[in-house]
Structure 1
Amino acid sequence: MKRILWISLIQITVFLSLLQDANAQERRSFYSGVRCQGMGGACLAVTNDETALLVNPAALGKLRDFYGTMFDPELEFGYNTYGMYKEQSFSNPFTLEDVVGALDKKRSSYYHAKAQVFPSFVARNFGIGLYGNYLLDAEMSGDGSTINTYYRNDLAFVLGFNFRFLDGRAKLGFNTKLISRIEVSDPALSATGPLDYSTIASEGVGLSTDVALMLTAPWTFLPTVTAVLRDVGDTKFDSASGVRMSTTNRPNLVKQDLDVAAALFPIHTNNVRSSWTVEYRGLLTSADEPDKAKLLHAGLEMNFGDVFFLRGGYNQRYWTAGFELASERFQWQLATYGEEVGTADTPKEDRRYTFKFAFRF
């Protein structure tokens, strides 16, 4: 049994590393955090904090205690964002009307800005939280006529449960997210037309559910495999019109999808241990993605006494890195990663930098 599992993990890793194929559309998940991004975007099998509620509800069964996160702002900007601001300052990095002047100064440069918060309470097998984010990706065409625009503003109430079986070796988790979404998704938005969200955005409320299974073998390194079925039955934002905007336009349907991952957890000394993981996202919708490299993630984390953490990984062809300094009440995290915003034939990296501070009790 042990030999079969090791052979399967090696085969999966080799198979995924050979998958290459050619969509200039960035892939965006509902939630991605600084720890994940520092580890190559791979966190399904290794998450063990409040983010499990969003990332992998089965991992709620890994929590050793209960705690709450009261204040945890997370900010993220792309490599070009600062240069654009220097060319043309703007007051709100998430408002297209404010940013359009900078986009015009730096045509054909990819702009990225994100902010999110997730106050929450989690315990073993249970979690509850409120999630909010702002996200703006934009790029003005070379002739200045159109803007490839994606904007998202989510407010979500999240509830999660997990059930443990076989002394915790098997975990089955669920979450439910009630999401109010405002969205703009237009690859050719007119640069001379209306740019205010009250005119160009869609808005709606949707109910989303994820189901996750995690299996851990009671062997050295605790080999773990997990799968998360996201947006079960598809997520439609077609309820409760006019909650935050007066519009009949609805955000895009989010298709049901499946993410899978495997991980190992070596213990090196009493105060040093590590996590190694590989992850493949979008198994059910991979046929819609010409560039299969966008689906592959791998990462590692070195943990020094649960105080200092070093992270690195591979995300969509590009390196990632991060570190964390943690105490009983406070947490500081930094990460940088490369996001693929081009195609397999003409890859284009958007290097990003993200920071998080959290206060817990």
Structure 2
Amino acid sequence: MVNRGNSLLTGLAVGLLSVSLSQNAMATDSVSTTIHHQYQAPRALGMGDAFVAVANDYSAIFYNPAGLARLEQGQVNLSLGVGATPGAKDFYDEYKAIEGSGKTETDKQTDYLNLIQKHYGDVYSLRLSPVDAVWVRPKWGVALIPMDLSVEMAMHQQVGPTMNTTVYADTTLALSYADDLHWFDYGRFSMGITGKFVNRGFFSKAISAVDLAASSQIVRKEDLIEGYTVDADIGLLWTPEIPDEGFWSVLRLARPTFGAVVRNVAETGFGHSLKLVNKEAQEGTPEKLYRVVDVGTRWEYPAAWIFGGRGVLDVRDMGHPDFSWRKSLHAGLEFDWTVSSWWKGHYRGGFSEGYWTAGLSAELGIFNLDVVSYANDVGSKSTPVESRVYATKLSLDF
């Protein structure tokens, strides 16, 4: 049963890539207003993707490196993650039926035209990360993500019926360091930096029915524009010192913490290529990592018996070209339960980009399971469009 499930996911991934990488010299650039995040953790996504002021596990490397200064023990996380929109498989099955029909190219064009028209307004996405490896210790961490693949296909009426298709294929190596700044006298102040090397394969085209019908080999690495960059994220965490007495003393129970991150400080873009994915020369460069600012806050609940938790609120992606207040607001709640050091879990809920999120985690020894549902706002600033995603992550955690 597991093997059948894995085969289905693999087939779906290959199929979506097959559609998305169809080559056409006359194709125009895809139009996408989705804010792409280089790294996403299911724990953060479940609580509205508000994690800037939490950052207390291995994912701090990418969400806020200052959190590494506050780790009390090391952690090694090896994981497999996959997420997709529910209708993606149905669309893939319809596409495969046309592709394998044996019809003439003209008839296939008509069928693909009808397929795109049938799904006008629909947006399908897939995100696959077969192996993530992260090792963190108090004050430092290192991460290797060999492949983080994102595919988005949106059915639109432009010059004619088209699939606006955007693909990111990232390989990331990151190294982080953090420490407390002891000269700060008004509570605990931590600062961290993550340096990262990112190699990106990128595809952005509006694919027509003619393109789909004319392609005999529709999976082509040669269609990817490729480049690499070296950049850094700088993060801060501040937990203010609360008086023991007086009006403000009640806040000691909530232990408020505030955080901020400047991502992609250099914003140098992907101007050079190592040709790791595409050996052929390509015109253009992949979409760059935008310099953005995230700020957030965290408030802890008083612990009771085996339960605890926190509330979070972030404003993210300030400075991104597709920034809007709707897309930038992230808020959520997390409830912890701990039976023992090897048996614990979390329940989460929140809002991200104007849509609900929910998730849960179960930790049994070194085996962790995360499931989450969230949504991306794939519309314009004036017309929001929901693209619901269901994702899971399997981890070995030492």
- SS of residue paired to 2:72: coil
Tell me which amino acid in the other structure corresponds to 2:225.
Answer: S
Tell me which amino acid in the other structure corresponds to 1:231.
Answer: N
Tell me which amino acid in the other structure corresponds to 1:182.
Answer: G
Deviation at 1:32, TM superposition (A): 1.1
**How far apart are the structure 1 equivalents of 2:73 and 2:269?**
35
**How far apart are the structure 1 equivalents of 2:223 and 2:115?**
18
Tell me which amino acid in the other structure corresponds to 1:39.
Answer: M
Residue 53 of structure 1 is matched in structure 2 by 61
Q: Which has the larger radius of gyration?
A: 2
Deviation at 1:30, TM superposition (A): 0.8
**How far apart are the structure 1 equivalents of 2:115 and 2:136?**
41
Deviation at 1:196, TM superposition (A): 4.5
Gaps of 5+ in 1: 1-22, 91-99
Q: When the two structures are aligned, how many residues end up with a matched partner?
A: 326
Q: Deviations over 1:215-268 (max 9, x none)?
A: 012433221111100001214112244232122332122221111111111223
Deviation at 1:177, TM superposition (A): 0.9
Residue 79 of structure 1 is matched in structure 2 by 86
Q: 1:103 to 1:291 in 2, by over 3 A?
A: farther
Q: 1:38 aligns with which of 43, 46, 62?
A: 46
Map of 1:278-357 to 2, 5 A cutoff? 278-285=313-320, 288-289=321-322, 291-305=324-338, 307-357=344-394
Tell me which amino acid in the other structure corresponds to 1:122.
Answer: V
Q: 1:264 aligns with which of 284, 299, 307?
A: 299
Residue 192 of structure 1 is matched in structure 2 by 210
Deviation at 1:142, TM superposition (A): 4.5
**How far apart are the structure 2 equivalents of 1:164 and 1:59?**
10
**How far apart are the structure 1 equivalents of 2:90 and 2:80?**
23
Kindly indicate whether the alpha-carbon contact (under 8 Å) linking 1:103 and 1:139 is maintained by their aligned counterparts in 2. Answer: no
Deviation at 1:81, TM superposition (A): 1.2
Tell me which amino acid in the other structure corresponds to 2:149.
Answer: Y
Deviation at 1:281, TM superposition (A): 0.9
**How far apart are the structure 2 equivalents of 1:101 and 1:326?**
47
- SS of residue paired to 1:158: strand
Query: Does residue 180 of the first structure (1) align with residue 199 of the second (2)?
Result: yes
Q: 2:139 aligns with which of 112, 125, 129?
A: 125
- SS of residue paired to 1:221: coil
Gaps of 5+ in 2: 1-30, 98-111, 242-251
Q: 1:165 to 1:134 in 2, by over 3 A?
A: same
Map of 1:223-262 to 2, 5 A cutoff? 223-245=256-278, 246-248=280-282, 249-262=284-297
Moved over 4 A (4+): 100-103, 194-197
- SS of residue paired to 1:275: strand
Q: 1:290 to 1:270 in 2, by over 3 A?
A: closer
Deviation at 1:103, TM superposition (A): 6.3
**How far apart are the structure 2 equivalents of 1:147 and 1:108?**
10
Tell me which amino acid in the other structure corresponds to 1:108.
Answer: G
Map of 1:157-172 to 2, 5 A cutoff? 157-166=173-182, 169-172=188-191
- SS of residue paired to 1:258: strand
Kindly indicate whether the alpha-carbon contact (under 8 Å) linking 2:113 and 2:209 is maintained by their aligned counterparts in 1. Answer: no
Query: Does residue 140 of the first structure (1) align with residue 158 of the second (2)?
Result: no
Q: Deviations over 1:146-179 (max 9, x none)?
A: 2211101111111110011349811110011111
Q: 1:220 aligns with which of 229, 248, 253?
A: 253
**How far apart are the structure 2 equivalents of 1:154 and 1:101?**
31
How many percent of aligned residue pairs carry the same amino acid?
Answer: 26
**How far apart are the structure 1 equivalents of 2:41 and 2:298?**
18
Q: Deviations over 1:86-127 (max 9, x none)?
A: 43459xxxxxxxxx8996463432110001232121111110
Residue 97 of structure 1 is matched in structure 2 by none
Tell me which amino acid in the other structure corresponds to 1:64.
Answer: E
Aligned-pair Cα RMSD in Å: 2.5
TM-score normalised per structure 2: 0.76
Tell me which amino acid in the other structure corresponds to 2:156.
Answer: S
Deviation at 1:316, TM superposition (A): 1.2
Name which of structure 1's ranges 242-251 and 255-264 shifts more when overlaid on structure 2. Answer: 242-251
**How far apart are the structure 2 equivalents of 1:353 and 1:278?**
22
